[in-house]
Amino acid sequence: MLDQPTPLPQIALRAPDVVMRLRRMGASFPTRLSFLRVLLRRLSAENAQVARPVWAMDGDGFGHAVYSVTFGGHVYSLVAVSTDLPPELRTDRVIASAWDTAYVLYDGVPCADEIARIVATAPLQEAARFTARDLVLSRANKSVRLFAHTVERLRAGQQPDADLVRSTGYLMRTTAVYGNGKFGIADRDVFATRDGMGGPFMAEMLTVWLIRGFTHDLVEHVGGAPLDAHLKRHLGIGNSTGLGMAPFLVSHPMLLNAWITARETALARVRAIETLEDAQIEVIYDLVKRAAQHLSEWQVPDHIGQQRIDQMRREWPQLAALMTPDAMTGRMPLDHLWLASAKFSIDTQECLAALLIEPFGNLVDDLCASMATEQHATLDPSMTCADLQALIDRDWAWAMCDYDQPEACHQFWYVSEAKAEPRLGLRHKEDGAALESPLDIARQVAGLVPHLQNGGSVAQLLARHPEHRAAVRRVQSLDGAPYAEIRDNLIGRACLPIDMLRCKLGFFGAAKFDPKSDRWTRITLCQGAPLRDELGNADNWWLPTFDA
């Protein structure tokens, strides 16, 4: 019998009733477990080289290019198409029909015929048809002001204004990055078993990183001169994300559980460290300084968002003051620090959680392998109603309230027919509740409870009340998955969808959240990430700062 590996020491994981509240989920920060970080570590480990076999751009930057990279024993190619977009057609809405640039991540190296096909179809996006060789479909628009400014400066033999680069942070922003079978592209199953591609959203993250490099090349081509490497490194990829992303976390509860479990286990392992070495303490001090600099550079127009950032700026020196030499050289220093942070805001606590994980890749990086899951919802008709009630009593007390009260059913989720996007309606003011999407998980489970009093089996219950089938399956399937459910009422007045967006985007690796309302936000991806020729140093860009 093979010896089993000795489990790493860890503190008890944080309780789901703490972790899975919307307000805390909405304070998420990127960590070394974020998918972009995982991807770039793998590219670095393989000494991956990015080639550009095709560059067919005119002087104004319109045409196409192909980038290829070998990864996990397979070659993947980004086909990038740049077109002349009239200003009146430029919009970041997902329902737009034209964009500055369009992209396909292709499985292999495309021949001339395949390039011609993609060049013709990629700009059409949803209106076109694609093949199983097309793995990811995306599009992006220019940040017109910064792109034009950079071109102007480069043509004049100068670099772009550093303050403008710092405040904008990207030359283009994507409006969608589609994977998993959308519009005829490959299902995830086509490549999920390949080396390096089994983690969540690996193909999409590879696409975004390659797009970021293309934006650098394009502006240098049009400007006729190279960008300063420091400025280039700070130019990531922007993204505008709205309600369309929010339902994902509800409809993929086992995946959410895998993500959160990995992060919480990482924090628990780090908190269990008995003593720190001097070099580890110095790294933590450096990260504390970096986080302070990041916070000082993070400005948003949103009043509530800026208030939260300002509070973090005030609290961060107080947190740093707790990290005295005596405290950091004592026993269980990180656990003591974590417990002491309870007096600070949720935002400061979650930033600290990300920071504590950062220096200890040797303890936590193995958890990345557990962040994808093939588990699916199942229903057990033989379970007794008494046992089902016991599961609800244990895991769902948070969902029990009077949903006839206007505050508790204030809003409803639906899909807009005109705009093909998830939307929120106000139940007591707007029509459409009859077409409600089933994101009212808490209400569904609460509505099931009165019918459990009659006893018997789940099969008998559902024979009498088939309308509760989804709620029963949800409760049963999430037994043993403590972080699978958002423990808040998603149709209540207090629900802010942006908290769900930030949680998911934090796992992607996003930073510089710039909320535009409680329903959509702008972010930056790959900011501070290594360039194509810098993969030898691929893992030191947590919370990037402009001065780094």
Is the model's pLDDT at 183 over the cut of 90?
no
pLDDT tens for 43-76 read 999 999 999 999 999 999 999 999 999 999 999 9
CB–CB of 412/433 below 8 Å? yes
Cα–Cα distance list, 489 to 91, 444, 477 (Å): 33, 11, 19
Residue 501 has pLDDT above 90, yes or no: yes
- Average pLDDT (495-521) is 94
Residues, the chain, total?
A: 548
pLDDT of residue 54: 98
Q: Per mean pLDDT, which of 84-88, 428-432, 544-548 is the most reliable?
A: 428-432
Both structure tokens of 400: 């029990």
Could you tell me the CA-to-CA distances from 261 to 136, 331, 361 in Å, in that order? 27, 26, 16
Q: What is the pTM (predicted TM-score) of this model?
A: 0.95
Query: Residue 421 has which token pair?
Result: 């996007």
In this predicted structure, the answer to whether residue 271 has a pLDDT above a threshold of 80 is yes
* Residue spans per domain, the chain: 16-27+251-364, 46-233, 385-477
Predicted confidence band of residue 376 (pLDDT cuts 50, 70, 90): confident
C-beta separation of 330 from 273 below 8 A: no
Q: Is the pLDDT of residue 5 over 90?
A: no
Mean residue pLDDT across the chain: 94
Q: Report the b/e string of 371-405 with b at 16+ CB within 10 A.
A: bbbeeeeebeeebebeebbebbeebbebbeeebee
Q: Spell out the residues 6+ positions from residue 503 whose beta carbon is closer than 8 angstroms to its own.
A: 25, 26, 28, 249
Of residues 25, 140, 159, 155, the one with CA closest to residue 85: 140
* pLDDT of res. 253: 96
> Averaged over 524-545, what is the pLDDT?
92
CA distance linking residue 401 with residue 408, whole number of Å: 8
Position 348 scores a pLDDT of 98
Helix (H, G, I), strand (E, B) or coil at 210: helix
Tell whether the model's pLDDT for residue 86 goes beyond 90.
Answer: no
Q: What is the pLDDT of residues 407-459, one digit of tens each?
A: 999 999 998 877 677 889 999 999 889 999 999 999 999 999 999 998 999 99
Question: Which has more confidence, 284 or 415?
Answer: 284
Q: Is the pLDDT score of 188 beyond 90?
A: yes
Residue with the two structure tokens 């550009």: 52
Residue 463 CA to its chain's centroid (Å): 40
pLDDT digits (tens, 9 = 90+) for 209-250: 999 999 999 999 999 999 999 999 999 999 988 888 889 999
Per-residue pLDDT, 548: 55
How far is Cα 368 from Cα 356, in angstroms, rounded to an integer? Answer: 17
Select from 548, 547, 545 the least CA-distant residue to 511: 545
Is residue 95's pLDDT more than 80?
no
- Is 90 exceeded by the pLDDT of residue 375? no
Give the mean model confidence (pLDDT) for residues 398-412: 96
Task: Report, as an integer, the average pLDDT of 192-218.
Answer: 96
pLDDT in the model for residue 80 = 98
Between CA 329 and CA 352 the distance in angstroms is 18
pLDDT at 1: 45
